[in-house]
Amino acid sequence: MNMRTHLLTDFELMILLAVLRVGSEAYGVPVAREIESTGGRTVIVSAVYAALDRLERNGLVTSSVGDPTPERGGRAKRFFTVTPTGIRAIKDTQRALTALWTNVPQLEGSRS
Amino acid sequence: MTTKRPPALALALLRRVAADNDPLVGDLMEEFDNGRSASWFWRQVLTAAVTRPLAPGQGRDRGPRLAINTRRPGESAGLLGVPPVAPGPKPIGFMNISSVQVDGIGGLGLVVAAFCAALEFEQLRASMLVAVCGGVVLGGLMILLRRRRGPSVPRHNDPADLLRAALSPERFRTHDHGTPGRHPVDHPPVLAAVS
């Protein structure tokens, strides 16, 4: 029996990859910055949190609350970690996208 | 070390809309402290205010209005208090689509916030003017449509309709058999309610 694959939207995929790239310090600000600098798109921080909440409900990330800091007005950071299910979802999405990418004459030779 | 203070009004609005999301408030304050502009802060806050209540399971429950059931067919037994036989995927539940609801602010609060933002930022004034003109035109159209439709029949279970009917009976028809969902009335509306 085939295991159900979880395909991610482009924004979810970017967020999961950004969380992985940032590492242990992955909270809202660095994740948003990573998407902006690497992904080249402007990010609304509340949209990042909304997507991360959805990913957490689906078991693709987990979160933990850190210590409050003065520059944040005494508010705590919420750190995110990608779960093994999340890693599998990233790989499933990559596989699906790669499969769609192949044998499309218009796209041949366009990859640098 | 001194920290830069974000625009007070935007911060107050953010504290209202993200009252249960301290990390988001902290993140935006940290980013502002790191050199982001006031317009960036306003954009983040207003977007958070508008988009946050659309997420299912968030926001204050203000009772049913127009709602769509996003449960799967097999999960409908849960609505009657009987748990589904097999634990399926987590149901999303009901999502209100009748209006944009913002926790602790409401539609009028959003209008005031947009007006204040337009006062602060010149580039928003044209958009605000277009929105106001559009609202006035839409309101006028709704009034015209309501007048053309004529008087309606009071709903028996609606105290506001019954009060209106008692105060100005000429506004209501006494016979209406063709409108679905409305009750035909052969006698004065208030009497119809008690009979």
pLDDT digits (tens, 9 = 90+) for B158-169: 666 677 777 766
Q: What is the pLDDT of residue A59?
A: 94
Residue B110: both structure tokens together: 């959003």
Residue B82 lies in a domain: no
Q: Are residues B188 and B99 in the same domain?
A: no
Percent of chain B with pLDDT strictly greater than 70: 47
Residues of B in contact with A32 (CB under 8 A): 27
Mean pLDDT of chain A: 88
Residue A105 has pLDDT above 60, yes or no: yes
Higher pLDDT, B3 or B111: B111
Summarize the confidence of residues A20-27 as an average pLDDT.
Answer: 92
Residue B35 lies in a domain: yes
Residue type, position B178, single letter:
G
Within chain B, where are the H helices?
A: 8-17, 22-33, 38-51, 106-120, 125-149, 159-167, 189-194
Range of A7-11, A17-21, B21-25, B109-113 with top mean pLDDT: A17-21
Q: How far is B41 from chain A (nearest CA, A)?
A: 10
Q: What is the pLDDT of residue A92?
A: 94
Q: Does B26 touch chain A (CB under 8 A)?
A: yes
Q: Are residues B31 and B112 in the same domain?
A: yes
Cα distance between residue B84 and residue A69, in whole Å: 45
Q: A2, A52 in Cβ contact below 8 A?
A: no
Burial class (CB in 10 A: 0-12, 13-18, 19+), A61: buried
Q: Are residues B118 and B171 in the same domain?
A: no
Query: With a cut of 0.85, is the ipTM above it?
Result: no
Class of domain A10-96: mainly alpha
Q: B158, B166 in Cβ contact below 8 A?
A: no
Residue B73 lies in a domain: no
Residues of A in contact with B24 (CB under 8 A): 28, 45-46, 49
Q: Cβ B22–A75 below 8 Å, yes or no?
A: yes
Residue B113 has pLDDT above 50, yes or no: yes
Q: B65, A64 in Cβ contact below 8 A?
A: no
Q: Cβ A73–B43 below 8 Å, yes or no?
A: no
Domain that holds residue B166: 149-194
Predicted TM-score (pTM) of the model is 0.55
